[in-house]
Amino acid sequence: MPNPIFENKRLRSVLVLMVCLAMLAPSYFVNNIHSHDWGGDFAMYIKQAQNMVLGVPQTDNNYIFNPENAVLGPKTYPIGFPLILAPVYAAFGNDISAFIDLMAVLAVLFGLMVFVLLRDRVHWGLALLVSVGISYHTTVLFFKREVMADIPFTLFALLALFAVDRKKWWIAALALLMAALTKSVGVTLLIAVGFLLFVQRQQTGDKDFRSLLKHPIAKLLLIVAAGYFLLSNVIFQTNAAEGYSSVWSDFELSTVLYNNLNYYFEFLRWFLFDAINEKPAGTLATGLFLALAFLGWGMAAYKKLGAMEVWFPIYIMVLLAYPYHASGLRFLLPIIPLLFLYVATVFGSLDQRFRPALVLLAAVPFLFTFQRSAELVKDWPKDVDGPQSTHAMEMLDYVRTSTPKDAIILFSKPRVLALYTDRQAIGNGRYQSMSSLYAQVDSLPITHVIQADALWNPGIDTLLFNASDLTTLEFETPGFKVYKWVGE
């Protein structure tokens, strides 16, 4: 007698979804620690969330943007991720453990979204394998402890693509808006959806402007644009574009493209085939995987052009053209599930007799990293070197309690300093010229300089060595020295 649960399509879908959630949920506890590395991005996001809760303008964050070190980050980030962090800050204050817990929850939701996205096009068993395999990959398990915008952005981006292709317009509107608000590259989703609208209009031959305004995609884009303008330019005013424009102007495009192609290929080779990463077989396997993925993308686009098929190459082009590539998983995360999906598309087009091999092939990349993942699940580092370490807290406490409130401090991690001390801070470029650095010291003027052994910065080291007669040591704890700039 047939089981009514498996006969009911809706119940079966819910059951499979619950199975996926049950398998992903334990990842919440893995590598869930109570300290953060020095980073810098996390501090800016938390500071902006703090400003939201306190009703302070986004730009009043004590971070002084340095055009000589634009790669460090703009004056403010987009407001999407701080919006997510703000309720946590309101409930728990500046508690890094609470923020890391939130990231663990978002990582589980990301894995669940990968499953939903793939399940819509491939067998649920394959979708489950890929979602669990990605979520328990060592890189993801390490990355989810970082309070960064990339996991929530990927979650919203994948949800937006899924909702647009399924014509779930209100879900699509919210997901598109949050993706665009979370990372500037979210604008590529709007470009992709706009291009999809253009293609559909071309196919129907409809050139009437009034009918354009009635098109659901046009309405979707108008709602998202209005929401973006309201939140980013009226309610919360930011100037994130300032820093990004400086980054783009400092690099030659051909060099950037070449470096990014090499870097991302090497990273994917390690991510997919860790055990044979350094061998020619790893290069061949990665090349074959990417070739199949792009073939599958072409087949999917030819069969039916959806938002996912339009966005995939647009995002890759931006990824390759963006100058800052040393990001590992961060920028690749949104397309890794799509690479697996399009590889599955190729094998899904084969005769049914060959389809069981697809599950085995999909498992191969995760078999190479299984041992490292298992080791991490058993034992992970409970603390990392960062602002929560004992001596760092001593240094930060000194700056917060013993320096003037109008102090301007030069430090390798100015956004971290601004968050934990409420003092204005600027970060120099590691190889910024001494003449430029001296000019900034005089013009701001800089009142203190902090030297940190664990944060390699030849610019600060050289400045302190050359200007030893212009500084006095005010505070010292293992790993940190706080100097007062006394000047001429």
At 483, list the tokens.
Answer: 């100097």
Q: For residues 352 and 358, is the Cβ–Cβ distance under 8 A? A: no
Tell whether 341 is covered by a domain.
Answer: yes
| Residue 70 and residue 111 share a domain | yes
| Residue 359 and residue 415 share a domain | no
Task: Name, in order, each residue with C-beta under 8 angstroms of 141's C-beta and a sequence gap of 6 or more.
Answer: 27, 30, 31, 373, 376, 377, 380
**Segment 341-359, tens digit of pLDDT:** 998 888 777 666 666 666 6
Number of domains in the chain: 2
Q: d(Cα 331, Cα 263) in Å, to the nearest integer?
A: 12
pTM of this structure: 0.92
| Residue 434 and residue 334 share a domain | no
pLDDT > 90? residue 43: yes
Predicted confidence at residue 215, as pLDDT, reads 84
Q: Which amino acid is at 130?
A: V
Domain end call among 378, 410, 425: 378
Range of the domain at 122: 21-378
| Residue 177 and residue 62 share a domain | yes
Predicted confidence at residue 355, as pLDDT, reads 62
Tell whether 15 is covered by a domain.
Answer: no
Q: d(Cα 465, Cα 456) in Å, to the nearest integer?
A: 15
pLDDT > 80? residue 243: no
At 110, list the tokens.
Answer: 């990301």
Predicted confidence at residue 383, as pLDDT, reads 78
Q: Worst-scoring range by mean pLDDT, 97-106, 265-274, 337-346?
A: 265-274
Please report, for residues 408, 450, 452, 455, the alpha-carbon distance to residue 411 in angstroms, rounded to integers and kept in the order given. 10, 5, 8, 9
Tell whether 12 is covered by a domain.
Answer: no
pLDDT mean over 212-230: 90
Tell whether 99 is covered by a domain.
Answer: yes
| Residue 263 and residue 133 share a domain | yes
Tell whether 1 is covered by a domain.
Answer: no
| Residue 374 and residue 443 share a domain | no
Q: For residues 416 and 452, is the Cβ–Cβ distance under 8 A? A: no
Domain end call among 312, 345, 378: 378
Predicted confidence at residue 488, as pLDDT, reads 67
**pLDDT class of 242 with cuts at 50, 70, 90:** low
| Residue 365 and residue 468 share a domain | no
Domain end call among 345, 378, 411: 378
Task: Name, in order, each residue with C-beta under 8 angstroms of 70's C-beta and a sequence gap of 6 or more.
Answer: 243, 246, 247, 250
| Residue 399 and residue 372 share a domain | no
Q: 476, 408, 320, 358: which is closest to 63 by C-alpha?
A: 408
| Residue 371 and residue 411 share a domain | no
Predicted confidence at residue 354, as pLDDT, reads 63
| Residue 326 and residue 273 share a domain | yes
The residue count of the chain comes to: 488
| Residue 315 and residue 431 share a domain | no
| Residue 468 and residue 330 share a domain | no
